[in-house]
Chains A and B, each alone.
Chain A
């Protein structure tokens, strides 16, 4: 289990390879990568976080996933700071004996990271800056778990 909160970019290929080779007993690895969507006019995405609570909250979410599903391993990397459109913001990877658990756990991690990990996104456009508002649908998504 690995949780990393960092401003530096990560090497997706190297991370997936290291995670896969380290996941003993896994028959399935699922990965998800979140990318700054290159929306029209968007020049940058600034991600603020709450150092200390962020690592704690993400670790708690990963531990919960490990309790609920039969996982060989799980990984979360989430960046903060100023990112450009097209850059990777975060990734999750889950490894399990069978794909059902790996897919479900990856979705669970994403749903919880979305509204329970203390990150806040601010978009910069030519006209100025706006904080991204949380969506009701994101909160609603937690109910299915």
Chain B
């Protein structure tokens, strides 16, 4: 089981802040392919990956990163702190 978190407009587009999923995905990209196939709102949120960032266990990561051992995946737009 893996916790998947969404922030900012990704959260709004999907309609929830987090969910727990059972997944066979090997990489982040695989997980995105599975999410896109679920429902239109997921397909819309993940339509343009250049507008998204991913963090694995709270560390910024990349879409080709493996999910083995990861407990928490977060998807969000580029950060706007400061």
Segment 55-71 of B: residues with Cβ below 8 Å from A: 55, 58-60
Contact in complex: B8, A48 (CB < 8 Å): yes
Residue count of chain B within 8 Å CB distance of chain A: 16
Q: Is the CB of A115 within 8 A of B55?
A: no
- Are A50 and B81 in touch, CB under 8 angstroms? no
Contacts of A120 in B (CB 8 A): 7-8, 76-77, 79-80
When distances are taken between beta carbons in the complex, the residues of chain B under 8 Å from A50 are 5, 7, 55, 58, 74, 76
Residues of A within 8 A of B60 (CB): 57, 116
Contact A119 B80 (CB under 8 A): yes
- Assess whether A113 is in contact with B8, with CB atoms less than 8 Å apart: no
Contact check, B82 vs A134: say whether CB atoms are below 8 A apart.
Answer: no
Give which listed residue, B55, B59, B80, contacts A132 with CB less than 8 A: B80
A131 to B79, CA, bound (A): 11
Are B81 and A113 in touch, CB under 8 angstroms?
yes
Spell out B's residues near A (CB within 8 Å). 5, 7-9, 55, 58-60, 74, 76-82
